[in-house]
With several copies, the nearest count.
Chain A
């Protein structure tokens, strides 16, 4: 059994990653998680300038899920490179910075600065954050913009380029195809769904930002369906996420067509989940006679 996978010609030792925004810059979980067991660590989205994020509160639990409206709070790309990346030098797993800009120029500028470091294994491009409403962030809903942006970033880096898709669109396949046409090495889906909770005591939205992004087991069926559809629209690998808590959940994504998966909200519930999921995937492969992740893709037409 060999659970390694390739994205853009580069190898990930196993298909289990931790999702952007749920694992900070990595160091926060250092004391709880053995990073060498992780296939990839996707960092919190980095923007060109530092951002303090949205108004509080930023989090609320929902049935089998949660809403967040963090608003891409982060230290900005320069401090990310000088302060955060070095902490991960010894992490022993693939580091995949996740980046977002408000304009194409910003995306490109961030990527150029990161290219100066040897630490990133590749990049995940966030074109889909529902918690920031400014212009640039509608990128993810417009195929032409996605293709143009991807092509621009493709010219900057030879490292794997992963475009992260939003489910808040009429046709996610069109966006995925645009990413592929632009030269992406993979797409990851899904980011969060737009949601809202109102406190009936105060009669106000709970989140300072009014709406937030829904994640967790509640959205897993949406994630699996998205991967299933996207996989049938593109030839590049698909990275699946949304509500994965157990190996069984991850295997659903593989069967739907994912080549790798990420765990997001699950890290909050139990930081041991990535390791447990990887162990469970191995057991399943052994039991079912699967030799590679590719073997999962033959069962559903």
Chain B
């Protein structure tokens, strides 16, 4: 975990209201050659950064975003974000060459599946980023997998050509499968599901549905959770979610954001 001034190298719209920010931890020009500039530990899929989007006090708190990719050679990482409020609006205005104050990588991460396991990645909306990154790691490990992406309508679906095996679901049927990702999952035959493992990231109702599905077929299921954050580093106890007893509350920023879905006290 480091705090650095990262250089924006790209910030482009990839679908309606969705943007991809690419940045590198090249030191700012005023960092003298003598100054040691921190190395960023390789980020893992599921891990996130927090960005201070503004120097003013509105918005005040740093905003958390999951890594959507990392290129160890170029030292470039990316996030995919939805422009939804004050902070992400400011973020969408950042231009290549500008520097952003980031802290990361933070949190735990999605681990490599064991042999035999057949990963199915289920992403909805802003859950896309971390699973795209995980998918690229699975490709690197040569683990075949299915990627399911759900969105409200076609306009919210970015280009997914880089994915080998992808199913797109839209609520209104304007692209791909007509229905939610949960509907899509329910079309599987029970026997197809042997050794299947779910990795899910997206809105809470989607995660709940995935958990329900996993419970029904007794599948292992990991979910990437969200909670409003203040510190992002485990100090404030603000980002907790409720786990089943006996664990009690867990901090999304430290014990998470990745949880086993069966550990969570879904409500």
Contacts and interface: CB of A to CB of B under 8 A. Distances in A.
Q: Tell me if chains A and B make direct contact, with any CB pair below 8 A.
A: yes
Given A56-B240, A73-B249, A28 B57 contact: no
Interface string B229-247: 1111111111111100000
A31 B2 contact: yes
Contacts of B58: 63-64
- Counting contact residues on chain A (CB < 8 A from B), the size range is 35 or more
Contact of B3 (A217, A268, A271): A271
Contacts of A31: 1-2
Interface string A57-101: 111110111101010010000000000000000000000000000
B248 interface: yes
Contacts of B59: 61
Given A32-B2, A70-B236, A56 B227 contact: yes
B235 A56 contact: no
| Most B CB within 10 A of own CB, among A23, A32, A60 | A32
B228 A57 contact: yes
Given A58-B238, A73-B240, A269-B52, A28 B60 contact: no
Given A52-B249, A73-B249, A271-B103, A265 B60 contact: yes
B237 A70 contact: yes
Nearest to B85: A61
B227 A28 contact: no
Given A58-B238, A270-B52, A32 B249 contact: no
B211 interface: no
Contacts of A272: 3
A268 B62 contact: yes
B252 to A, nearest CB: 9
Interface string B54-69: 0001111110000000
A214 to B, nearest CB: 12
A66 B60 CA distance: 8
Contact of A59 (B101, B233, B236): B236
A29 B235 contact: yes
A53 interface: yes
A216 B229 CA distance: 15
Contact of B1 (A32, A53, A216, A265): A32
A131 B141 CA distance: 48
A269 B61 contact: yes
A280 interface: no
A268 B57 contact: no
Contact of A53 (B2, B3, B103, B237): B237
A23 B235 contact: yes
Contacts of B3: 32, 270-272
Interface in A259-291: 265, 267-272
B238 A68 contact: yes
Contact of B235 (A22, A55, A59, A245): A22
Contacts of B240: 53, 56, 58, 73
Contacts of A270: 3, 52, 101
Contacts of A130: none
**In the complex, the 6 A-B pairs of residues with the closest C-beta atoms, listed nearest first:** A24-B235, A59-B238, A28-B235, A64-B57, A73-B237, A28-B234
